[in-house]
Structure 1
Amino acid sequence: MTQLRTLSGFFFGAMLLAACETFPISTGGIVPAAPVPCPAYAPGQGPLEAPFPTACMDMQSSPSGLRWIELSAGEDQSRGAPGPDATVVVTYEGFLASDGTLIDSSYERGEPGVFDVPQLLPGWGEAIQMMTPGDEWMVYLPWPIAYGAEAVDDVIPAQSDIIYRMKLEWFLTAEEMAAEVQASEDAALLDGPDMAAWEAVFPWDPDAEGVNKLASGVSYVRLETSNSSMRNALITDDVLIHYEGRLAETSDFFDSSWSRGEANRFPVGGLIPGFTEALTYMKPGDRIIVHIPADQAYGAEGSGEVIPPNADLMFQINMLEIYPADPAF
């Protein structure tokens, strides 16, 4: 991608007004408390000391209950904020508001998160659409605009308020994203499968230099490595790929998206096990050849007249795009 390659607390106020008759009102000498400074939260990675303040001098809030403190501002505001259909690149850490327990961190994964705004938690989506690239905020999401009333595995208890330290690194509009995907498709289609690479790896030798062997018996060699900032595909994602499949024993061709002239979008978890596993080692721009043993492919049944029983398979795969399925932490 152009700039990719390679997303928010609880303030509730209530005032009760009653009027039966007109009575003189006395303030009793009460003076409103002066605003207190906000805690000195530092930008970047680091622990969180709970609790998050309910009010302080630099805190802002919205009707949804979102509260935020701006830690730093981006140098160039001219790009503006992402819209509701943008794809955003965000460096972040998430904490339980109750005790400051870390629940997720892009820093620990070594790369920013890349998300489509419609897939974000409601509070995340609200906050990110007020930020411009380079902005970093501390954001408090009350549970109704975070994960709601249900627990998330053993990580997030039910009805948990969440705090995020989040920095918007960059974003692409829907139009820019579509153009990026189309450009990737066009480039991949023009390239086609790497025929020299096919010749170089046949017959397949799992012990050859450069071959990566996995515990399942799947093995692969990397032909091209992307410089994309995006993470590898997850089993919950959809991916857009070009691919060509061959029988490992004979190198006979049996399927190719390049031949059809169109990349395919697949759910990562909906494919044969070896293909799924291979995709989780790829990010957009990567190209590999993978060898899949029969027990990780179509097994003893084979597949129609194309793939015989107990056939090992080989695929050349070029990953073009990842479509994250889960909401961001």
Structure 2
Amino acid sequence: MRKVLAILLPAMLFLSACGGASTPADFEDGKSAGAAETLESVEVTDAGTDTAPEVEFDAPLEITEQGVRTVTEGDGDVIEVGQNINVHVVSLNPEDGSPIQDSYAAGTPQTLPVDDQLKEVYPPLYEVLVGSKVGSQIAFAIPADPEQPQSQNTLLVLKVLSAESPAKKLSSEEVAELEEAGQLPTVTLDDEGVPSIEFPENEAPSDLVVKVIEEGTGEEVTEADTIAANYTGWSWQGEQFDSSFERGEPSEFPLSGVIPGWTQGLSGLKVGAKVLLVIPSEMAYGDAPAQGQPAGPLAFYVEIVEKVPQN
């Protein structure tokens, strides 16, 4: 049930948090922030959503601090604070324009939260993204981190493919409406308490569903707790991928160390509770998870057996 957290720019591209924001430069093309004058010569020729763009600039680029420039403005929805944006990214060596990494080639757009963490670590990028439009091509200059020997100056070009508000936990009233409309899975327990499930024909809900099948009577659990639970998990296509019932004993895990759908879905419940969790992809393992993890929206039947005492 553990999820290995991976954020696009730290893992693939975030090479430094050096360089403060300087006075924004003015460009006719769109927004800019930080040392954007470094990027004045950057030109991007779009090649669609599946092929990396052609990027040209006067090499070498002298990158000493962060700078961001909207090279071409999109015509889609405006990006808002708190949204998750899906982007394709090309990273280039600013000395000669040679490619470093390319998410187009992998065929997997990356998700980047436009949140306080981005604002703190990369303020120019945050400043430019907020208020920009989907479809924009954005150049981002990142200086090397002197404390990281493997770090190097990098030029990124991000294409914003979409912007969406993050999934939320539905209220009990909203869950009841989905159940009444027949849009939630139905869980059945056999004589030994082992669950099976039947899925509706509709698509999975886009938000987190917590359907309490039986209220607990024990202690309330919080995100800081470690719990023992029995559970079975299925993909939305109905394929079972994990079950503690088959192993014959509950599993223990800290609620702070599992997928967000479990953390948010189980926190606040009481020991003894039996629940159905329907978890959207972004609160589970994603649409392109690591090998061995289930993709897409998931459903879980969970019984909270106990709160595990901490030493």
Shorter-chain TM-score bucket reads: 0.3 to 0.5
User: Over alpha carbons, which structure has the higher Rg?
Assistant: 1
Structure with greater proportional strand content: 2
